[in-house]
Homo-oligomer: A and B are copies of this chain.
């Protein structure tokens, strides 16, 4: 089992101007459906490490990330764990058309979620084909990302993995950064331990590779978390 701080989410009452309105799946809904959804939504706040969904538990609700980062992880009996996905706002979380979860969802940073009760989501999915399409698009993107990451896990060296991770986060923060010439700066949403679990490396190796990248002026880091990438092209060259 992953470390579970068991911080129960602060439950707020339904928020009419919840960010879910602007989120991924909600552009697919009519005014009326959106009204229905929002009136059945609950906001949850989670501290880093708090468990949002459990493995092998019944699915009672889905969620949409309002802010922060969620890590999806799988755990082996002996405690080894692998982060198999990261969820940023406005991603949707949950296995639709299934009855139970197959992984843990944990807050990586402070997270705000909009919880959607399962029956509500199922009713909307039944009604709205655009919603189903939107969801399908998101799942296909998840599949692409998972396969991309399989290449990193299976083929790349530690140095390349760490570079690929920094690159991945940069693209999430600044989606147009791919061809961007200017510097990109962001706050790392994961601890070294989380990064290690994501990359299939040890904490020490992650740390060493970050140091090496800093030594080569590919990145600079202040306060352990604030990352600046002066040149995305140089970083990309290190991704393998």
Contacts and interface: CB of A to CB of B under 8 A. Distances in A.
A68 B53 CA distance: 38
A238 to B, nearest CB: 13
A142 B150 CA distance: 13
Interface stretch (A15-23, A25-33, A75-83, A179-187): A75-83
Contact of A136 (B72, B139, B200): B139
A140 interface: yes
A240 interface: yes
Contacts of A97: 133, 136-137, 140
A84 B140 contact: no
Interface residues of A, number: 38
A151 B72 CA distance: 12
A12 interface: no
A150 B81 contact: no
Contact of A153 (B81, B129, B200, B240): B200
A74 interface: yes
A144 interface: yes
As for how many copies of this chain the complex holds, the number is: 2
B76 A148 contact: no
Identify which of A80, A144, A153 gathers the most chain B CB atoms within 10 Å of its CB.
Answer: A153
Contacts of A146: 143, 146-147, 150
A200 B154 contact: yes
Identify which of A95, A150, A154 gathers the most chain B CB atoms within 10 Å of its CB.
Answer: A154
Contact of A155 (B82, B85, B142, B144): B82
A75 to B, nearest CB: 9
Given A74-B150, A150-B150, A153-B200, 7 more contacts: A80-B240, A84-B150, A84-B151, A85-B147, A136-B139, A146-B150, A153-B153
